[in-house]
Structure formats: structure tokens, C-alpha cells
Structure 1
Amino acid sequence: MSQTFRHPEILEAARRQGKVTVEGLAAQFGVTLQTIRRDLTDLAEAGRLERVHGGAILPSGTTNILYEERRNLNQAAKTEIARACAAQIPEGSSVFLNIGTSTEAVARELLHHHDLMVVTNNMNVAHILAANPDCQIILTGGTLRRLDGGLIGTPTVSTIRQFKFDIAVIGCSAMDTDGDLLDFDIQEVGVSQAIIAQARKTFLVADLSKFKRNAPARIASLAEIDSFFTDAPPPERLLAACRGWKTNIIAVSEQAP
């Protein structure tokens, strides 16, 4: 297979998996490790990928990956994370679900919950939960961000401050190894901070690929999160910090039979 045909497939694999490895791609395409290294270098120089030890990831920085591409990243992990999170949401709860593909996955897992009141600034979440007749749905006001169906801005924050939620379920675009949650849009950060302030408990849903990415705006620390639902345990140093903060870590890989 020529380089011209490999590059789109490499990019598609990176979007799907979050990371590609030199050895895995060499085996997939039946070419040498050096050939794949050249491919990854070319894609990195073009700004399509970011080189890391042993492979490459989607580039990070000051702009986020397209929403449809994010939907396809780590889908199986997101589903398991969402299932674990939904299991900790009692029926009869008031819940906030914010913007993100991981919170949309949680919404799907709430389709059979009873007597819920869900407030959201995510039009996709509202559309998903419309199929649950036993769920009251309240959409915040705000400016529509067409790329992901999110509502942001001062009206969104004003609506959030009228509530006290039993549980808030939030996502993030990236995570720092010191436990800071990060995002790209400063307006969305302000919304997330208001959500945390108005929640009795806050759940974070995020797979560990978020540690491979960077974003410029800080939302909060894991110290402010009650439970962090993820696909595998984070680094030991962060685990120790979470124990000190009393942040509960639920890694779905540890729950698998």
C-alpha cells in the first residue's frame, strides 16, 4: 500500500483509538517500522498528528477535535464509563448533564431511569432523553454552539444558578497530570464551574486519553470532584492525590469480569 493510501487510514485509526503505535501500524500495513515512522513524521509536520513515544496522537493545543470525530473516539470505553456512572444515579434524582460526548453516553444509560429531572445545556442530551417518558427535561438558555449542540454564555449560567442539583455529570476536553480539568472554550469553562458550584455531588466522566491532550483553560481540580469514572486507573501519583482529596476513582477496567 502506498503512502498516499496509508495516511488517511492512519488518521482514521488515530481518530478512532486516540493513539496509534508504530508497531501496530507496521503490522496492520505489512511495512517496516521505519516506513511507519516516516509516515508519522510526515503527518506530524503537516499538523495532522502529534508524535509521542512509540507512536502518535491527534494534535492538541488551543482548538478541539471536531465533535463528530470525538464521538468516534474510544466509544467502547465511553459506554462502559457511562454505564458505571448511571448506576450511581438514583431514581428520583435531579441531575445536570453538560456538553460532551461522554455525557451523551450517560444520557443513553439513563433512558430506563424513573422520576428523573435532568437539566442540561446540551441539546443532544435533551434529544436522547426525550425518549424517556419518565424524565423531566429542562434546557438552559444560552447561545447555541452549532458545532456540538451546546448552550453557553451568561443566560446559561443564570439558569444553572436557579437550581441545586443532587448530582452533576460533567466531562472535560483534557486533564493535566496534577489533576486539573481543562477545556478549550472559556465560556464553557464558566458554565462548568457554575455547575460544580450548584451540585451536591459532582461526577466526572472521562477516559484516560484525556491525559494525552492539552487545553488552555482550567475548569477545576479533581479535588472538587466526588467521583471520577474512567476506563483505567490514572497514574499512581494522581491516585494518591485523589485519596487525599477523597475523590472516588471508578475504573471500569477493574470492574470487568
Structure 2
Amino acid sequence: MDHSPRHGQILAMLSDQGTVGINELAARLRVSAETIRRDVKSLAAQGEIVRMHGMVGLASTLREAPFERRMRENRAAKDIIVRRAAATIRDGDSVMLDTGTTTSLLARALLQHHQLVVVTNSSDIARTLATVNGNQVYMAGGRLRSDSGASFGVSAIDFVSRFSVDHAVISAGAMDALTGVMDYDLEEAEFALAMLRCGRRRVVVTDATKFGVQGLVQVCGFDAIDEVICDLPPPPDLEAALQAEGVLIRASD
């Protein structure tokens, strides 16, 4: 199908990053948001792209497994976050990681580290870090999800609760100034909270699209975490709520 040069640029960006916001597209292509909206409308009418959660993505990505599709969403921001997070972890540290696209990418960012002790409920994370660089990897058992290959339930929580680690790192589905850290799945929220209780340093990794958003289930209040590692600073109300609980915000290198 023939496309204008700008349409081709949009499709190339989406192919590379998975999903991109309207304002980001406008800024990178140096045109107005209204112009991008017209482009998006045209491409959507041709069945080339779709809008998902306020983002624009390739229609072809809908054929991917949900977890793989989420790995591609907002990838540039997630790469920034995991680089910052990996820099705070030293060789020989013990790390607990929950299942999530950002934590899975963090596991890949830790491939240059050595002698890590890793505890996780994610088969993707376990597979990434096991048997390399002298790492020890412990994976929680339990019922495996078909989309993410992660284990949940009482047995998974009991398993991780036996550990005490240097860093407990969770991803977040949403983060709101009034409610705290949130998710959209009860089992994932319960597991994340259990993990935080095992860490001497308790960290949330999340991109800015989750800020000011209400999830379905609360994971914890801000008093239960020590740091938030993100790509952009949170909005003023959320920043104030985090600072009131002494939470360190890492939004720059």
C-alpha cells in the first residue's frame, strides 16, 4: 500500500517502538498534533494502525501474545528506566523481580552483571538470567499464566516470603497520589506486596504513562516503598505525595 512520506515515518516509528503517543509523534516529526491526528485517522481507515489506551500502534501487533505486545509498548521509555535501575544494582547483589514488561526488560539489562542471586515468579526473567555469569536464580512455583508464563497463588507467595533480598523491584500498573501503587489484577497485586516485604530496598519501576492513573487493586501505599525509578518526573501532586513518605524519585541519570 502506498503511503505519504510522513505516513511511512509514522509506520516505521511504530514498527520500532510498538506504540507511540500522538504528542510524541508530533514532536518527533515536527508537525502539529492536529496534523498527526489526521494522519492517524487516515492510517486507521486503511487498517494499518489502531489506538490503544491513548497510544497509537500497528494493527499487526494485535496478533502478538498480550505479554509480547506489552513488551513493545512505550519501549523507549522502558529502556531508559531499566538502564537507570540496573545502574543501582551491583555484582553479587540479591534481587527479587516480579512479572511485568519493565522488570523483564530489567532482567535483560542485568545480563552484564555477575554473581547475582535472583528470586522471581517470572519464567521469562528466570530464563534470561539463569546459568549466566555465575548467577543463582530461584523461581517461585504455582499456577503459571498462559500469557506471561508467571506463577501466582499462595504457593508462590509462600516461596518468596522465605527470602530476604537487597533489592525488591516491582512494576506498577498505575500510580495515583491518593491511592498509591496500583495494579489491575488481584493476584499480581498480592504477589507484588509480598515481594516488597522481602526487600531491604523496595523499588517501583514504571513509565510516566502510569502516573495519575487509577488501577483496580491497590498494591500498597507510598510508605511501603523506598524508590520510584521512572522515565519522566511525576506530576506535582504525585511527586508531593511520594516525597511526603520519603520516597526517592529517580527520573534522571
One fold, TM greater than 0.5? Answer: yes
Shift of 1:216: 0.8
Q: TM-score, normalised by structure 2?
A: 0.78
Give the drift of 1:22.
Answer: 10
Q: Which digits, 9 at most, give the CA deviation of each residue in 1:53-81, with x for residues without a partner?
A: xxx447xxxxxx92122111121221221
Q: Which moved more, 1:74-83 or 1:229-238?
A: 74-83
Quote the RMSD (CA, aligned, Å).
3.5
Q: CA deviation at 1:212?
A: 6.5
Say whether the 8 Å CA contact 2:177–2:241 is kept in structure 1: no
Aligned to 2:157: 157
Q: How does 1:162-241 map to 2 (within 5 A)?
A: 162-178=162-178, 180-211=180-211, 213-241=213-241
Taking the aligned partners of 2:170 and 2:36, their CA distance within structure 1 comes to 41
Gaps of 5+ in 2: 57-64
Identify if the C-alpha distance between structure 1 residues 131 and 213 changes in structure 2 by more than 3 Å, giving closer, same or farther.
farther
* Letter in structure 2 aligned against 1:85: A
| Superposed displacement of residue 18, structure 1 | 4.7
Once the two structures are TM-superposed, the CA of residue 180 in structure 1 deviates from its matched residue by: 1.7
Percent sequence identity is 29
Equivalences for residues 133-152 of structure 1 within 5 A:
133-152=133-152
Query: In 2, Cα distance between the equivalents of 1:209 and 1:90?
Result: 28
Any stretches of 5+ residues in structure 1 without a counterpart?
A: 59-64
The 3 A distance-change label for structure 1 pair 22 and 154 is closer
Note if contact 1:22-1:36 (Cα within 8 Å) is conserved in structure 2.
no
Q: Is the 8 A contact 1:119 1:137 kept in 2?
A: yes
Match of 2:22 among 17, 20, 23: 20
Query: Which residue is 2:41 aligned to?
Result: 39
Change (3 A) 1:155 1:83: same
Taking a change above 3 Å as real, the CA distance of residues 37 and 139 of structure 1, as seen in their structure-2 partners, is same
For the structure 1 residues 79 and 131, does the alpha-carbon distance in structure 2 shift closer, same or farther, using more than 3 Å as the test? farther
- The aligned amino acid for 2:157 is V
TM-score (normalizing by structure 1): 0.77
Q: Does the residue aligned with 1:70 lie in a helix, a strand or coil? A: helix
Aligned 8 A contact 1:179 1:238 in 2 = no
Structure 1 window deviating more from structure 2 (174-183 vs 140-149): it is 174-183
Instruction: Give 1:16's aligned amino acid.
Output: G
Distance 2:170 2:218 in 1: 14
